[in-house]
Amino acid sequence: MASDSDEGKERLIDDVRPSLRKRIVVERVLDQLHIIENDQKEQIRQKAMSVSNLEAADLLISAVLKKPHAPGWFQAFVDALKHSGCESAAHYIQPGNPVDPAAEAENDACVTLIQILSPSLVQMKTEVVNVECFSEQLITQDDFEKIKTITANEGNMGGARELLRSIVRGRPGWFSQFLQILRVTEHKHLYELTGGSSDCDKTVGKLPSLKDEPMESEAAAGSQDSPEFMVISSTNEPPEEQDLYQAVSAKSRQLPDSVEPSTSDPVEAAGGPEKDDIVLRDYQMNVAGPALEGKNIIICLPTGSGKTRVAVYITKKHLDHRRKEGCSGKVIILVNKVPLVEQHFNAEFLPFLKHTYKVERVSGDSQLKISFTEIVKNNDVIVCTAQILENYLERANTGEDEGVDLSDLTLIVIDECHHTQKGGVYNHIMMRYLKQKHKNIRLKKEQKKTMPLPQILGLTASPGVGGPPKWRKLRTTYCICANLDASKIMTTDLGQFKREPRKSIQTVEDRKEDPFGDVIKNIMNDIHTHAELNPTYDLGSQTYEQWVVQKERIEHLKQYSEGLNLCNTIRMRDALNFLTEYQEEEKKKKKSPDAELVIKITETEQFLFDLFEGKKDELKQLSEKPEFENDSLSKLRSKVLHEFTSREKARGIIFTKTRRSAIALSQWIQENPKFADVGVKAYHVIGAGDQSVVKPMTSAEQRDVLTKFRDGEVNLLIATTVAEEGLDIAACNFVIRYGLVTNEIAMIQARGRGRAEDSSYTLVDVKNSGVAEKECVNEYRITMMNKAIDKIRTLKQEDYDRRILEYQMQAIMEGRMRMKKKQQQQMRTEKGEVKFSCRSCSKHVCTGEDIQMVDVHRVNVSLEFRKLFIKRENTTLQERHFDSETETNDYIACKDCGQRWGSMMLYRGIDCPSLHVKNFVVTFNGKKKNKCTSWSDLKIKFPAFDYIKYVHQLGESSDKDDTD
């Protein structure tokens, strides 16, 4: 039973608890306190690391007050506070030292003043002030050593923040002592700003009232103009629970302390409170340093570490600097996917810059009715897809119209800059930059006028390592640095802010019986026998599919092979639906919309149709037996249910390989009541391109699903790789890759989608996918990538610059050689000798002389060609693209066999048949051209479309028909 004396001491601690918890440094006190059990100490330490010192201090006080008390518990607590350097905390609980409300209020006012002036105070000479504070016993030996270490490792500002954290916990009178130290260490400006007399020979006067503090002049000026303005504390307590040293100015409180992009509603983000102050953490400020000096750099930080926020900060400082010098600035932020345009615009650049600069966004889905050139002229910051900028750079280059020049821009930010290689659009833009840069070097030597070039800022989490040979791990990183003309690649240790999701791999077992797959294999073997084929590869394997494609064998075999793989990934009924849909589409090709036309069905085609019809009922019966389903689905179901039952608010993403599997998995989850019982609300998001036979999502549909995911209306997203890069959902706490592993870049990007605390990353194996082995390889490649970055960063700057120059010159020379060969090939090619035949029935269709170019489309201008095809409705009609004069309406197919040839395109009021070369057999001088799957494989330069001549031809044909 507690004594009366104990109860009095308990009340004393409880009475001063709010002030006490602010002055305790938990880690140090625990080392000196021996009245608490070790397991409870560990629990308190974990709270300090994972939440905040403030919360941990509260837990420590509760542990001290917990009954029964050990003999001498109170004195032990006081001694622990004194010996750990928390003398002000010990002072509060001394029985003979009653709390003076006026003194407490004055101390709080001093702390608040230091908080408000922190952006300016961190400019102090930390090493000098640290020594003086220690000699005056304002900080402890531990404080002194810690500040010294942080200053050495993180720079002057990092040490200054730790110093300020330490002094505000000091004994009574600390503020006056600190002012004196600022004066004697020759920090006159900071001394006067903090309340010291302008006459340095006079003693420090009374603390000025906070009401008289010039917050919007001196303090605010320091926070907005200084590129080093940063928040010192990393906790995220509510205002009434702020630790002693957190930035609490009115403006900084409006900002999320997290480095994560805002996940609020885009409209709300755009119209919410002004966010003039951009708050960076220490590691973010460190990597931004060279860019703030105007240098080209690559920032390489893990996903979720706030690279975009750093880019916003650099953008603002860049524009501020140019405005201060009387020059205009023009910043373009380039992204590689349409959804990222809206995300960067609404969540990052617009909220922070809208009150100071004009910010706009442009993508292929934009409804803006003015040209991109005008948008660039009228705005300071433009977020857009890279292809739009490339198109307008090309227009300016060819003189087609005004276009956009690199000299119009002052800063280009390239998101996911690891794509700046090979034939990507980022690289096309940067090759223009590099050519002009080296041309400028020559012009400068000749004392001629040079073209100004923009500063380049690249952002990435994963540069990659390239191919398997060891030397490529450095070459890939060098190439990216060279292509971006980066003077440095900046990376750093995130320290306490580093987040690694818990990783696990779910292996699967083979089916004991697979009657559904056996039926499909029997069908395939019947086709082999009929076609006199003898494949030596396992049916459904990747090598088998390659053999089918290379040998141009029966398309049905490729579809059955796909069906085999689907039944190892999704439900058997989904695989059956896929095969049924394919068969029905093939039959539709044999039915003409014109009843008078008869399309022939060959003997082989009839055999294939009958073969499937004969097995369809058996496949349907087997697909309804759950005991034959694949083990991967079972593992996926268990994992999803575990996540939703073990978390208070689960929100996750499942990445899968194909659009078809994404849609099928979404339907499976929606139809399964077990998922609904635990609150799963699932939907899929797939790509917007038309390369797949599966109907794509429009960009508007993608945005709608992603918005619902952010808002929590959808809490489980099933996605293809379209969502791997850049998707920022702070509440996402688990990621599952379902039978999908590509390279180390994709792996880093995918697991980085899990942004919340205690997130998990799970790999679920699928038969024949080999994902577990590939994942191990990728882990090794990531290690190689990090070593490559470290090795490059240790090079002397002159050695680095020389190697970068070599890579740049090599890239320019290789590009010139490719262009030369391309031109030679085009000149040698006689278009009249290039002939196109229907891939299905081999009927001659046209020659190269009949084809002209409309933008990137190849249209047949021969009126005779119009007699050879029929038109069908295009069920996957897409939205009209930004700044485009073309629109796809129907597709065209062979009158004789139904083979699809291309699409009917509406261009400036007339129908133009656009051809897709993959649907034709192409011959040149009687020899078949292999691998003509895209027009880029055919080295022919077709003439531009002659609109006037074509309209006249159509008019003459129409007049002739009217006469007839």
Pair (463, 608) in one structural domain: no
Residue 187: strand, helix, or coil: coil
Pair (84, 107) in one structural domain: no
Instruction: List, in order, residues 6 or more apart from 617 with CB less than 8 Å away.
Output: none
Q: Are 157 and 77 in contact (CB under 8 A)?
A: no
Residue 88: strand, helix, or coil: helix
Per-residue pLDDT band for 748 (boundaries 50, 70, 90) equals low
478 closest CA partner among 463, 493, 491: 463
Q: Are 749 and 340 in contact (CB under 8 A)?
A: no
Q: What was the pLDDT predicted at 893?
A: 92
- Of the three residues 464, 497, 530, the one that is the final residue of a domain is 497
Pair (765, 875) in one structural domain: no
Q: How far is CA 528 from CA 297, 535, 539, 611, in A?
A: 57, 8, 11, 12
Mean pLDDT of 390-415: 87
Pair (571, 530) in one structural domain: yes
Does any domain span residue 44?
A: yes
Task: Domain of residue 738: give its range.
Answer: 502-507+630-786
Pair (891, 764) in one structural domain: no
Q: What was the pLDDT predicted at 389?
A: 92
70 closest CA partner among 100, 33, 40, 96: 33
Q: How far is CA 918 from CA 679, 914, 932, 939, in A?
A: 46, 12, 6, 15
Enter the tokens of residue 601. 């069905």
Q: Are 147 and 129 in contact (CB under 8 A)?
A: no
Element (H, E) at 351: helix 350-353
Does any domain span residue 231?
A: no
Does any domain span residue 25?
A: yes
- Of the three residues 33, 66, 93, the one that is the final residue of a domain is 93
Pair (662, 770) in one structural domain: yes
Does any domain span residue 886?
A: yes
Does any domain span residue 696?
A: yes
Does any domain span residue 780?
A: yes
Q: What b/e string do you get for 189-201 counting C-beta neighbours within 10 Å, with b at 16 or more? A: ebbbbbbbeeeee
Cα separation, 217 vs 2, in Å, equals 56
Pair (490, 351) in one structural domain: yes
Top pLDDT among 412 and 651 is at: 412
Cα separation, 58 vs 69, in Å, equals 18
Enter the tokens of residue 957. 């044909």
Model's pTM, two decimal places? 0.55
The size of the chain, in residues, is 964
Highest average pLDDT, of 539-548, 728-737, 766-775, comes from 539-548
Q: What was the pLDDT predicted at 495?
A: 58
Per-residue pLDDT band for 569 (boundaries 50, 70, 90) equals confident
Top pLDDT among 71 and 105 is at: 71
The number of folded domains in the chain is 6
- The answer to which of 361-365, 613-617, 884-888 has the lowest mean pLDDT is 884-888
Does any domain span residue 729?
A: yes
- Own/partner long-range contacts of 109-114 (Cβ < 8 Å, ≥24 apart): 109/207, 109/210, 110/168, 110/174, 110/175, 110/207, 111/168, 111/244, 111/245, 112/210, 112/248, 113/194, 113/195, 113/207, 113/210, 113/213, 114/164, 114/167, 114/168, 114/175, 114/194, 114/245
Pair (603, 666) in one structural domain: no
Highest average pLDDT, of 50-59, 108-117, 295-304, 817-826, comes from 295-304
Q: Helix-strand-coil percent breakdown of the chain, rounded to 5?
A: 50, 10, 35
Q: Are 832 and 847 in contact (CB under 8 A)?
A: yes
Element (H, E) at 407: none
Cα separation, 486 vs 299, in Å, equals 10
- Of the three residues 194, 209, 239, the one that is the final residue of a domain is 194
Mean pLDDT of 462-485: 70
480 closest CA partner among 461, 499, 501: 461
Query: Quick one: DSSP state of residue 746?
Result: H
Find the CATH number of the domain harbouring 746.
3.40.50.300
- The answer to which of 169-178, 486-495, 619-628, 763-772 has the lowest mean pLDDT is 763-772
Mean pLDDT of 9-22: 80
Q: What was the pLDDT predicted at 250?
A: 32
Instruction: List, in order, residues 6 or more apart from 541 with CB less than 8 Å away.
Output: 768
Residue 560 has pLDDT above 90, yes or no: no
Pair (584, 648) in one structural domain: no
Cα separation, 761 vs 121, in Å, equals 42
CA atoms within 13 A on the CB side of 78: 13
Q: What was the pLDDT predicted at 286?
A: 86
Does any domain span residue 374?
A: yes
Per-residue pLDDT band for 727 (boundaries 50, 70, 90) equals low
Give me the helices (H) in 399-471, please: 425-445
Q: What was the pLDDT predicted at 200?
A: 44
pLDDT in tens, 184-226: 888 888 888 777 665 444 444 444 433 333 333 333 333 333 3
Q: What was the pLDDT predicted at 779?
A: 66
Cα separation, 906 vs 242, in Å, equals 63
Could you tell me where the beta strands, DSSP code E, fall in 469-512? 488-490, 502-506
| Amino acid letter for position 553 | R
792 closest CA partner among 566, 375, 330, 481: 481
Q: Are 922 and 929 in contact (CB under 8 A)?
A: yes
pLDDT in tens, 619-649: 888 888 888 888 888 888 888 898 888 888 8
Find the CATH number of the domain harbouring 925.
2.170.150.30
Residue 962 has pLDDT above 80, yes or no: no
Biggest alpha carbon distance in the chain? 119
Find the CATH number of the domain harbouring 600.
1.20.1320.30
848 closest CA partner among 899, 901, 927, 917: 917
Strand 857-860 relative to strand 851-854: parallel, antiparallel, unpaired? antiparallel
Pair (109, 57) in one structural domain: no
77 closest CA partner among 140, 142, 139, 10: 10
Residue 452 has pLDDT above 90, yes or no: yes
Q: How far is CA 5 from CA 12, 69, 82, in A?
A: 11, 12, 22
Cα separation, 551 vs 529, in Å, equals 16
Residue 240 has pLDDT above 60, yes or no: no
Cα separation, 159 vs 161, in Å, equals 5
Q: What was the pLDDT predicted at 227?
A: 32
CA atoms within 13 A on the CB side of 724: 24
Per-residue pLDDT band for 915 (boundaries 50, 70, 90) equals very high
- The answer to which of 15-19, 527-531, 702-706 has the lowest mean pLDDT is 15-19
Cα separation, 911 vs 96, in Å, equals 96
Pair (620, 635) in one structural domain: no
Pair (855, 743) in one structural domain: no
Find the CATH number of the domain harbouring 64.
1.10.533.10
